């Protein structure tokens, strides 16, 4: 709950019907979730405008409204009229953060941020129990971050883990202003959304906004942008890396995951090594895990407690998710989203899968700009060294196929699909029970439809 007068000052609001104002505000943005006494904040989306539902909000029990259109006010109901409801939401989230007594961790990156957040939450839960909370799913924009911070304003938590996403230039900085993270985890800076960002430099600047509020940096020692920009930080970062040897030298505090069996923590002249049992598939997920481990160490979780928890951590749903279908090929669903580094990493992990035949169903990637054709050819070429059969679809299916042929996969082993239903029919008709099938592509292609079709 945010005290009413504090909310008014934070949002620079003009107040209508102030004599009926509640003492504090619990903010809701969806009329379906309103509880009696709530304040309804009217947001806009691509297909909705909350200002059209203020009357319904009051009918459902809202005692206050927050709008940026005077015409949306309801007579006799306390209304905060603000310059922008989205900015007001962020401002109220900032107030919630100021009232929170624990520490906040923010996680961002071009790939792996949701997985890292979820793995970190699991490591922290083993130590803090219910005194840790992580933002749900991928609610990582202004609305999601604000909602999460406000929901935990009065919670008895020691740690909040917030995911921060960016699709446009400088998107991270406003989230940092609201969340004021104590620790910032940057998984990597790749090529995701570079078409919208405008350039790789603008993308890097946006991600580096994570540290604009002075957060303690946890950085990937394998990431070129982080290595180049780290000297600009006020304090030396905590480096992490997943590697096949222990020869990485950062000259600072470092946590290394060597293969799937060795965990090394380095600080100054002190080096501690533990045997560890990592059961997550793929080098990319080991990188996400060691990022979470380094952050957990920063938060005071004992190394031995982390080692005990590691064998039990699980990937979030939709990330390299194994699906067994009786009498049909085993599926690996990893199509929550896709960019170049993620596609290559998934194919590398898939190369280790045992099966009569390895079959990859690859849809295209999105928002890569002028580099998209060349990137898809690289993915196709990598697939050629990994799979026995390749199905390609989406806008850049031809480029995926061209790369595969260049990589040595014969054209007879490449199948183009025009729809998910067509791909599912092919798997149904041509797949064998001993096969393993990877589904990977951008979220826009909704490859989960293939899973649903095969389950039906």
| Structural domain includes residue 346 | yes
- 6-29: average pLDDT: 96
What's the CATH number where 335 sits?
A: 3.90.190.20
| Structural domain includes residue 92 | no
Q: Same domain, yes or no, for 305 and 326?
A: no
| Structural domain includes residue 406 | yes
Strand partners, 239: 219, 254
Mean per-residue pLDDT over the chain, rounded: 94
Strands 238-243 and 254-258: parallel
pLDDT for 199-222, tens place per residue? 888 888 999 999 999 999 999 999
pLDDT at 197 exceeding the cut of 90: no
- 386-401: average pLDDT: 97
What's the CATH number where 202 sits?
A: 3.40.1190.10
Q: Same domain, yes or no, for 371 and 295?
A: no
Predicted local confidence at residue 91, as pLDDT: 98
Q: Same domain, yes or no, for 136 and 204?
A: yes
Q: Same domain, yes or no, for 328 and 291?
A: no
Q: Same domain, yes or no, for 299 and 328?
A: no
What residues have CB less than 8 Å from 47, skipping those under 6 apart? Answer: none
Query: What is the number of structural domains in the chain?
Result: 3
* b/e burial code for range 82-94 (CB count within 10 A of at least 16 → b): beebbebbbbbbb
| Structural domain includes residue 380 | yes
Contact 201, 247 (CB under 8 A): no
- Distance, CA of 339 to CA of 319 (rounded, Å): 13
pLDDT for 299-346, tens place per residue? 999 999 999 999 999 999 889 999 999 999 999 999 888 889 889 999
Q: Same domain, yes or no, for 450 and 325?
A: yes
Q: Give the confidence band of 360 by pLDDT, cuts at 50, 70, 90.
A: very high
Q: What is the pTM of this model?
A: 0.90
Q: Give the confidence band of 456 by pLDDT, cuts at 50, 70, 90.
A: confident
Q: Same domain, yes or no, for 129 and 195?
A: yes
Listing DSSP states for 93-136 in one string gives: HHHHHHH--SEEEEEE-SSSHHHHHHHHHHHHHHHHGGGEEE--
Q: Where in the sequence is the domain holding 6, given as residue range(s)?
A: 2-85
Predicted local confidence at residue 196, as pLDDT: 66
Which of 275, 290, 312 is the C-terminal boundary of a domain? Answer: 312
Q: Same domain, yes or no, for 442 and 417?
A: yes
Predicted local confidence at residue 337, as pLDDT: 80
Q: Same domain, yes or no, for 192 and 168?
A: yes
| Structural domain includes residue 259 | yes
Q: Pinpoint the alpha helices (H) of 322-371.
A: 340-350
CA angle 354, 407, 320 (to 5 degrees): 35
pLDDT at 248 exceeding the cut of 90: no
Q: Same domain, yes or no, for 80 and 108?
A: no
| Structural domain includes residue 43 | yes
Q: Same domain, yes or no, for 223 and 74?
A: no
Structure tokens that stand for 3 in this block: 């005290």
Q: Same domain, yes or no, for 226 and 325?
A: no
| Structural domain includes residue 16 | yes
Q: Give the confidence band of 367 by pLDDT, cuts at 50, 70, 90.
A: confident
What's the CATH number where 61 sits?
A: 3.40.1390.10
Which of 312, 337, 371 is the C-terminal boundary of a domain? Answer: 312
Q: Which of 160, 179, 16 is nearest to 97 (CA)?
A: 179
pLDDT for 416-454, tens place per residue? 999 999 999 999 999 999 999 999 999 899 999 999 999
Give SS3 for 87.
helix
pLDDT for 142-174, tens place per residue? 999 999 999 998 888 999 999 999 888 889 999
Which of 258, 292, 312 is the C-terminal boundary of a domain? Answer: 312
Predicted local confidence at residue 60, as pLDDT: 96
Predicted local confidence at residue 198, as pLDDT: 67
| Structural domain includes residue 93 | no
Structure tokens that stand for 12 in this block: 């620079």
């Amino acid at each position: 709950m945010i005290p009413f007068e504090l909310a008014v000052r934070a949002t620079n609001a003009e107040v209508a019907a102030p004599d009926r104002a509640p003492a504090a505000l619990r903010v809701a943005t969806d009329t379906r979730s309103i509880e009696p006494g709530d304040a309804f904040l009217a947001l806009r989306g691509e297909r909705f405008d909350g200002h059209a539902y203020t009357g319904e909000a009051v009918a459902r029990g809202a005692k206050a409204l927050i709008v940026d259109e005077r015409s949306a006010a309801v007579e006799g109901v306390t209304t905060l009229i603000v310059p922008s409801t989205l900015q007001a939401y962020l401002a109220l989230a900032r107030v919630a953060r100021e009232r929170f007594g624990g520490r906040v961790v923010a996680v961002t990156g071009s790939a792996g941020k949701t997985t890292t957040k979820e793995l970190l939450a699991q490591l922290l839960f083993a130590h803090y129990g219910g005194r840790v909370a992580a933002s749900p799913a991928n609610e990582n924009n202004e609305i999601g971050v604000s909602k999460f911070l406000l929901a935990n304003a009065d919670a008895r938590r020691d740690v909040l883990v917030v995911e921060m996403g960016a699709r446009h230039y400088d998107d991270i900085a406003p989230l940092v202003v609201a969340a004021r993270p104590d620790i910032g985890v940057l998984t990597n800076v790749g090529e995701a959304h570079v078409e919208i960002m405008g350039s790789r430099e603008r993308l890097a600047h946006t991600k580096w906004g994570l540290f604009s509020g002075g957060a303690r940096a946890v950085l990937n020692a394998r990431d070129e942008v982080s290595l180049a920009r780290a000297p600009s930080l006020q304090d030396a970062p905590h480096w992490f890396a997943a590697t096949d040897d222990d020869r990485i030298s950062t000259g600072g505090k470092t946590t290394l995951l060597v293969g799937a069996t060795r965990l090394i923590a380095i600080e100054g002249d002190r080096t501690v090594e533990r045997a560890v049992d990592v059961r997550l598939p793929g080098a990319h997920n080991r990188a996400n895990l060691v990022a979470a481990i380094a952050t957990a160490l920063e938060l005071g979780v004992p190394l031995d407690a982390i080692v005990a928890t590691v064998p039990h951590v699980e990937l979030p749903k939709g990330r390299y998710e194994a699906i067994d279908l009786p009498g049909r090929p085993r599926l690996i669903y990893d199509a929550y989203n896709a960019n170049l580094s993620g596609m290559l990493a998934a194919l590398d992990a898939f190369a280790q899968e045992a099966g009569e035949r390895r079959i990859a169903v690859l849809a295209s990637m999105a928002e890569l700009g002028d580099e998209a054709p060349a990137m898809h050819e690289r993915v196709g070429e990598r697939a050629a060294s990994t799979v026995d059969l390749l199905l390609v679809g989406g806008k850049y299916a031809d480029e995926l196929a061209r790369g595969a042929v260049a990589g040595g996969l014969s054209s007879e082993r490449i199948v183009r699909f025009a729809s998910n239903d067509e791909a599912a029919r092919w798997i149904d008709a041509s797949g064998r029970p001993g096969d393993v099938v990877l589904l990977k592509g951008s979220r826009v292609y909704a490859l989960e439809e293939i899973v649903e079709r095969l389950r039906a």
